[in-house]
Structure 1
Amino acid sequence: MTKFLISFPASAMDVPAEDMAAVSEASRAVIREAKAAGVYVFGGGINAGIGSRLVAPDGSSTSETYRQTREFDGGFCVLELPSRDVAVQWAARLATACRCAQELREFHYDPES
């Protein structure tokens, strides 16, 4: 089975404040279904209130980021699924629940993970 990252940036979720509770519940319902199906690995949302740290090989860190990840935010989940087609189906369910398109990426297989 392959692990897939399903994610979206915070800016993609253009939902009126009065609908946010319903969107949150709908997305949690899909995650509960993934857990019940035994395909859920982990997920969550990036805490935008806490800045990232860039950690060097020597252990020192700064509040910088890689340029291309400065706006890494939003929600994500990792599911372990039998095929990309099945991953697309789960991503579509999350897109419906979150009311925004989801980005789908496949993890490279690593026998140690």
Structure 2
Amino acid sequence: MAHSSTSFVSPVGSTLVGRTVRVAFTQIATVLRAWKHRRQVRALAEFDDRMLKDIGLTRSDVDGALDESMFHNPSVLLVRSVERRSRMQRPSADRRAERPTVPSIKAVG
């Protein structure tokens, strides 16, 4: 005797309503994360220029990140700024640091 089981209830994630709910929650989570990061970037705006330089940022980096839309994560721009600046400051293979020479001292005696 063959037994077939047919489910009349499909998993929530596979229905149109389920997918819509999942997308809505994902979008809400993204906006909430962006707002949280915006608060943290505003805290960075309170740092003086020396403190910002210590973490690889400039005042214009922070101001530019805060000029972004309320719904975009401003910390992404700050990470890109730091990465771009660190790439620009790395010595190229052509400018390798030469080994320092130590002057020789003649023994007296």
Q: Which has the higher strand share?
A: 1
* TM-score normalised according to structure 2 size: 0.28
Highest RCO, 1 vs 2 (Cα 8 Å, sep ≥ 6): 1
Q: Which has the higher helix share?
A: 2
